[in-house]
Amino acid sequence: MQFGGERKNALQRQQRGRNKGQVRSSAGFGMFGQYSHRLQFYRLPPTDNISLNEFEEFAISRVKVLRHVEQAGQSYVKGTDKYKEYMDRDLRHLMPVAVRKDLKDDFEERRKDHISHFILRLAYCKSEDLRRWFIAQEMDLFRYRFLMETDKREVARFLQENDLHFTPIPDEEKRQVAKYLCASSYSMSMAMIEHTDFYKVPFTEALDLVRARKIYVHKGWAYVPHNDLVSIILSAFRAHLSQALAVTARSIPHLEEDDRLLPMLNNLSKQYLGQNYSSGKSNMGKIELKDMDMHARKSFPLCMRQLHSAFRENHHLRHHGRMQYGLFLKGIGLTLEQALTFWRSEFSKIMDVDKFEKQYAYNIRHSYGKEGKRTDYTPYSCMKIIMTNAPATGDHHGCPFRHTDSNLLKQRLGAYKVNQSGIDEIIDLVNKSHYQVACSKYFMLTHGNAKSDVAIQHPNQYFEESQKILTGDKKYEGSGRYTSSRPQSQAAQSPRVSSHQATLDPSTQTSSSVQDQFEDELNLSFEELEAMEKEAMEGATTS
C-alpha cells in the first residue's frame, strides 16, 4: 500500500538521505529527515510503500499499545510511580521508542510509530465513540512520552519544530518570582523550583491550569512548570488530531472499492474497542420486571442506580436520562415488550397512557431498532457518559463521580452504606479526575467477594460482573474486563489492576457484612429503602 500526501517527492528524498544527516525540511522535520524526533504531532501522512502484511502488523502493534495505555489509566492514578512503572515495563517491548533512549538506530521504530498512527486513524475515524476512544488513548500516550523526555535540548527542538513557541524563563527572572512560584505550587519546594524549567505563556493558553489554581499568573502571563507544560501542548495535540480524524472520515468512502483494506480496518475497530452490549442477546428476556428494584440496589452502577431512583420517584426522565438508562436496560437483557411495559407503568402515573404512546413509545421502539433507520443503538460506555451531554438542573443522567457535587456524592455513598474510609478514597480519586477508577473502587467496596483487579469501563460490564459475583458464577475469575469481542490471545495479555488500588477497608476483607447487607435489603420494598436512604442523607446534611 502507498500512503498519499503533500510534498511526497520531498519526503522521499529526505528518507533516502536520512543517514547522511544533511537534509532539512521546510515542513518542520528537522535535520535528520522525516522522523527527526521521538515525539511527533503526526502532521503529514507517511509516503512509504508498505506491504499488506506490514500494514496489518503495524496496526495490531499500535492497538496493543493503546490498549495497554487504556488499562494503565484505568488501573493506576496517572502520574504516580506505579503508573509510570507499569507503562515503562510493557512499552519497552511494545513501543521501545517511547521509553528507551539507548537505541542506537531507532529510525525504523520512529517510522513504525508514524505509520501505525495513521493506519489507526483510518480504523477509528468512522464514529464518534471510536474517535473519542482513539483521541483519549493517543493523548495519554503522548503525555507519558513527553514527560519521559528529560533532555532539555530535545524538548526545545520538538517545540520549535512544531511551532510551539515556549522557552524557559531566564534564571534571573525565576529568582525574582521564586517565592510566588513556590506559593502557587502544592508540591514544589524552593529547591525543586531551582531545578525546574518554567515557561511564560499567555494565561489564555493555560486556562485548565488557571482553573485548577496550579500556577502563578502575573500581568496576563502564566508561569508554567515543565511537568504542566504538557497540558498546554496536549490541547494543541487534541485540536489537531480531532480535526485530522474529521478529514480522514470524509476520505473513507474512497476506500470502499478496496476489498483488501476495508475489512481489515473494520475488524480493527470492532475487535479491539471492547464489547458494546448492543443487544444483550445472551441475556435477552432473563430479566424480570418484578426484580428491577432488587437489581438496582445490588447490581446497578451508581449512575444507573441514580437514574432508577429518580425515575421511580418522579415517574419521568428527560431525554438524555431516558437514552442513557433505556439503552442500559436494553443491554442487560430487557426485551422491547418489557421495556414498553416498564416505562409505561411509571409514565402513566403522571399522564394518560395515550399521551405516553404518542410521545414516548416511538423513541423506545426506535432505540431497539424497530423504527426509523432501524439502527441497533448501543448502550453508553463510561467514556461517553463522562465526556458528553453534561446534566443540567433537573437532569439525572451523567456520571455521579464526574458531575455530582462532592458533598452530595459523599452523602449518597454514605446512604448506600459505603464505609467512611472507602468514601474518602473515592472522593480523593474524584478530586484527581480519576472517575472510572473511583467507580471501580465503589464496585469493590460494595461487593464483598469482588476480586482486586476489576477495572470498570462500561455500566453494563459493571452489571455483569456484579451478577457473576452475586450468583456465584464459577466462571468468574475477577478479570473485570469485557473481552469477549477480542481474540483469546489478546485477552490473555490484558494487564491486571495493581494490588495497591484494590486495598479495601479491613472490615470488608475479613467479613461478608456488605454481602449480608445486600441480602437484608432484598426483604425491603423500594419505598422502604428510599426512605432509609433519604433519612441517612438528611442526617448527613444536618451534621
State the binding site for [4Fe-4S] cluster.
303, 382, 399, 439
Cα dihedral sign for 93, 99, 103, 109?
positive
200: three-class secondary structure by DSSP: strand
Q: Enumerate the H helices of 391-512 as residue ranges.
A: 400-403, 406-415, 420-431, 435-445, 459-470, 488-491, 506-510
Q: Which three cell numbers stand for residue 22?
A: 544533511
**How far is it, in rounded angstroms, from Cα 331 to Cα 348?**
24
Contacts (Cβ under 8 Å, ≥6 apart) of 209: 215, 222, 224, 228, 231, 232
Q: Is 142 exposed, middle or buried (0-12, 13-18, 19+ CB in 10 A)?
A: buried
Phi, psi angles (nearest 5°) of residue 383: -65, -40
**How far is it, in rounded angstroms, from Cα 138 to Cα 148?**
15
Contacts (Cβ under 8 Å, ≥6 apart) of 85: none
Decide if 159 contacts 197 (C-beta within 8 A).
no
Work out the angle at residue 505's Cα, subtended by the Cα atoms of residues 501 and 510, and round it to the nearest 5 degrees: 115
Query: Which is nearest to 269 in space by CA: 457, 119, 78, 455?
Result: 119
160: three-class secondary structure by DSSP: helix
Q: Which residue carries 451508581 as its cell?
A: 302
Number of residues that this document lists for the chain: 543
Q: Which residues are annotated as a binding site?
A: 303, 382, 399, 439
**Cα distances (angstroms) measured from residue 240 to each of 127, 184, 246:** 17, 31, 10
**How far is it, in rounded angstroms, from Cα 398 to Cα 411?**
18
Q: Which three cell numbers stand for residue 361?
A: 413509545
Most distant CA atoms of the chain, gap in Å:
80
